[in-house]
Amino acid sequence: MDTIDIIKPENEVFCKTPLMTDTPLSYCPGCGHGTAHNLAMEVIDEMGIVEDTIGVAPVGCSVLAYDFMNIDITQAAHGRAPAVATAIARCWPDKYVFTYQGDGDLAAIGTAETIHTCNRGENIVIIFVNNGIYGMTGGQMAPTTLEGMKSSTSPYGREIESMGSPIKMTELVANLPGVYYATRQAVHTHKHARKAKKAIKKAFENTRLKKGLSFVEIVSNCNSGWKMTPNESNIWMEEHMFPYFPLGDIKVNGKLK
Amino acid sequence: MSELKLMKGNEALAEAAIRAGVDAYFGYPITPQSEVIEYLMTERPEQRTGMVVLQAESEVAAINMVYGAAGTGKKVMTSSSSPGISLKLEGISYLAGAELPSVIVNVVRGGPGLGTIQPSQADYFQSVKGGGHGDYKLYVLAPASVQEMADFVEDAFDIAFKYRAPVLILSDGLIGQMMEKVNLKAQQNRISNEELIQKYGDWAVTGKTNRARNIITSLDLESEKMEARVHRLMAKYEQMEKEDLRYEKINCDDAEYLIVAYGSSARISQKAVELGREKGIKVGLLRPITLFPFPKEQILALTNQVKGILSVELNAGQMVEDVQLSAQFKVPVEHFGRTGGIIHTPEEVLDALEQKLIK
């Protein structure tokens, strides 16, 4: 098969989902957000539910998610995406409603909304991208910043005594009865991305079956904020983030693992 | 069928919301407006009309729930009282910026801070001068009776959808808590999802069909686009001033003195006007029903006729600034009002008029 044959539509074995727009991503090269966006959009596309899907974008790096996701989408105030999604799901019980949030949004300013939305067991999907830093505002400490990790507001490293410990949101919400599915994934390798996609698919299936809240955390990198090359950041993530935020299912079908 | 009932202002508002075919209410308890959500929870509107009622974890969550539902084209409202409205202001600014039809009710209590749970009108500035951040205004309706608490729900939604903008019903603890007879309108049907998509499908997020995606946001990182958005908002406010100003004039035809008052102060001032007339003082009352738009021209026109204007408010002097601006300093404009939850009597109002303007 030569090049001409390869690009023939009938020989196509992989293509970009039409649910991703052609707008160039505003994320730094090497960032995991683009992959996470793509996986969510592929799931919605493959399930054939775009006409019934309403997304909620956060404030943070993914504030412009609506530029890249070719779906109906609302951009919420900082931390309030779960409240926004709650109302949409209550008013449109047959729709697939999901939020896409970062760690500052979901685990700091929006903690109350996160906890109570999970506790009510709203029939929505929360996709939580945890990269341990505030990327959009220039690399400040997040609630999930690891001990000793340097950021612009923890320039000498996070001190547990004065700044508290990094918060494990997925374990926290998994303990609430309203949460039906809680899992932690990653997207930096093909293997991880495939698993993450399966998890996202399971989450949307749970919405279809009206099982309540599905919480999918994606531990990701922030090479710019961490001041590393993309590759270095992925290695650092595996060596430091994964031991503290271990990957895998935490709660499946309403049962803690 | 319409129905005549004796009800509290807060309850009348809640019942009117069900009857107006409101799709959803999100709220958080706070005195003196908790009867709104209590009434709704007791009435089981999800059984009566399918209306969604949810007690949120905070006023912040409640207003953002309003934002979420409003973005899907639903008829959605919330209510609170002063400290709770302060918490909602960020969300209200987002509603204005994202151009979402919605209704917010403030049953005002005294402030600042935790203040008092007694009635007040001290949130005038917050209501008509923005309150939240950025260039925006709210269309503000000020009910002066239990009947208006009920009627203004539908009126507020008419304006909210006409302009795709948040509307504020600025009540107070007196109007919210007092009981009066109220004529409740017949039950209206809620809009069906099919009709909603047909009417608002060009902007509401209801799931992307074979059209371009709809996006609800107040963000425009390109300055020119953001300025265009601000200009679009300002054009709405100009149109509101032209088309939807509401006010009431009582005994103004031969008035030599004018009281300007809204809400509960207007009710008290109406009695003060009667008492004044009995004493031979030719005094009239102008009641702004909308606080934005404000009856600027009507006040200016009356300066040709009256010798002085008294702005009567349950606060330390807020609306008086707008009355002064409207009167363009052509006649003396004074303020009278009690604070701290104390409600002035008609006698006190008349006395203030005599002391400050007649002497």
Query: Strand (E) positions, chain A?
Result: 53-57, 72-75, 96-102, 125-130, 133-134, 140-141, 179-186, 213-219, 248-252, 255-256
Tell me which CATH homologous superfamily contains domain B3-193. Thiamin diphosphate (ThDP)-binding fold, Pyr/PP domains (3.40.50.970)
What residues of B are in contact with residue A57 (Cβ under 8 Å)?
217
Q: Name the CA radius of gyration of chain B, rounded.
A: 21
- Across the interface, whether the CB atoms of A80 and B206 are under 8 A apart is answered no
How would you write A33-71 as a 3-class SS string?
HHHHHHHHHHHHHHHCCHHHEEEEECCCHHHHHHHHECC
pLDDT tens for chain A, 257 residues: list them: 687 887 787 877 778 999 999 999 999 999 999 999 999 999 999 999 999 999 999 999 999 999 999 999 999 999 999 999 999 999 999 999 999 999 999 999 999 999 999 999 999 999 999 999 999 999 999 999 999 999 999 999 999 999 999 999 999 999 999 999 999 999 999 999 999 999 999 999 999 999 999 999 999 999 999 999 999 999 999 999 999 999 999 999 999 99
Strand bridging mode B102-108 / B166-172: parallel
Mutate to test the interface with A, among B28, B65, B196, B202 (most CBs of A within 10 A): B65
- Residue carrying structure tokens 């956060």: A58
Examine the pLDDT at B115 and tell me if it is beyond 80. yes
> Which residue in the set A66, A73, A112 is minimally distant from B58, CB to CB?
A112
Q: Specify the fold of B247-358.
A: Rossmann fold (3.40.50)
What residues of A are in contact with residue B216 (Cβ under 8 Å)?
73-75
Mutate to test the interface with A, among B52, B60, B64 (most CBs of A within 10 A): B64
> Percentage of chain B surpassing pLDDT 70?
100
> Which residue in the set B24, B66, B205 is minimally distant from A54, CB to CB?
B205
Distance from C-alpha of A70 to C-alpha of A176, rounded to nearest angstrom? 32
Rounded to 5 degrees, φ, ψ at B350 are -65, -40
Tens of pLDDT along B127-176?
Answer: 999 899 999 999 999 999 999 999 999 999 999 999 999 999 999 999 99
Structural tokens at position A12:
């196509």
Tens of pLDDT along B345-359?
Answer: 999 999 999 999 998
Domain ranges for chain B: 3-193, 247-358
> Which residue in the set B26, B208, B217 is minimally distant from A51, CB to CB?
B208
What's the mean per-residue pLDDT of chain B? 97
Domain ranges for chain A: 31-130+141-256
Exposed (0-12), middle (13-18) or buried (19+): which is B165, by Cβ within 10 Å? Answer: buried
- Across the interface, whether the CB atoms of B206 and A87 are under 8 A apart is answered no
Give SS3 for A129: strand
Nearest CA in chain B to A86: B65
pLDDT value at position B1?
Answer: 83
Tens of pLDDT along B317-337?
Answer: 999 999 999 999 999 999 999
Q: Specify the fold of A31-130+141-256.
A: Rossmann fold (3.40.50)
